[in-house]
């Protein structure tokens, strides 16, 4: 059975969604970047092995990345899943796991990479927002896109209400993207992800929809 390592920094809600999805994989470990990350307790309740690699214990990013890689390699995972892991990883680390390092980002990339995505989307007046699952590359939040989900943006939205709507979609598409990887259905061709067996449609998504 293939194995996963999940990296977290906080509450672990995306990790929880992955656990509840009953994926065809063994969770080899959950690694936290903070000893007080709430998601570590969730992992322990699921009787999963947990580790902490705290950046405050290392002199620089390179030393931290080396320690994190050592913890990951001890688990021999087929896929490393970033689930709210709030650390920028160095180029050498990312290239070490090229094609097997996956992340979910709370925007429709390439729009709004980085932090504060929901507040930025509201300031720009976008009508459709969402989330993106992608393979990680050295350029932050710019890796090959695996899946996206869109939500409408309403005039009364705040960053918090919009974030909650997007998070529900993260919990839906992240486990599905991981499942596709485990099934061997994902490939990268000319920098773009291909999903074996995907069906093309001519459906559109409009927000707001015109009155009928």
Task: Please list the active-site residues.
Answer: 105
Closest CA to 4 of 187, 182, 183, 186: 182
Query: What CA–CA distance (Å, rounded) separates 89 from 65?
Result: 7
Residue keyed to tokens 């390092």:
101
Query: What CA–CA distance (Å, rounded) separates 33 from 54?
Result: 5
Residue 159 has φ and ψ, to the nearest 5°, of -55, -35
Residue keyed to tokens 């061709």:
189
119 CA to centre of own chain: 19
């Amino acid at each position: 059975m293939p194995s996963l390592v999940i990296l977290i920094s906080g509450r672990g809600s995306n990790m929880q969604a992955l656990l509840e999805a009953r994926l065809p994989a063994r969770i080899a470990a959950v690694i936290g970047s903070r000893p007080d990350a709430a998601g570590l307790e969730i992992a322990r309740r699921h009787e999963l092995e947990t580790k902490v690699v705290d950046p405050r214990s290392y002199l620089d990013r390179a030393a931290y990345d080396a320690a994190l890689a050592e913890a990951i390699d001890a688990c021999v995972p087929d896929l490393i899943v970033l689930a709210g892991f709030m650390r920028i990883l160095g180029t050498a680390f990312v290239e070490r796991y090229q094609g097997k390092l996956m992340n979910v980002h709370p925007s429709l990339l390439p729009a709004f990479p980085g932090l504060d995505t929901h507040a930025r989307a509201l300031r720009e007046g976008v009508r459709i927002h969402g989330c993106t699952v992608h393979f990680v590359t050295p350029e932050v939040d710019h890796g090959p896109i695996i899946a996206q989900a869109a939500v409408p943006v309403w005039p009364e939205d705040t960053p918090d209400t919009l974030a909650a709507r997007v998070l529900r979609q993260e919990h839906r598409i992240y486990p599905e993207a991981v499942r596709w990887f485990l099934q061997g259905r994902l490939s990268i061709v000319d920098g773009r992800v291909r999903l074996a067996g995907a069906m093309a449609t001519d459906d559109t998504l409009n927000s707001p929809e015109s009155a009928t």
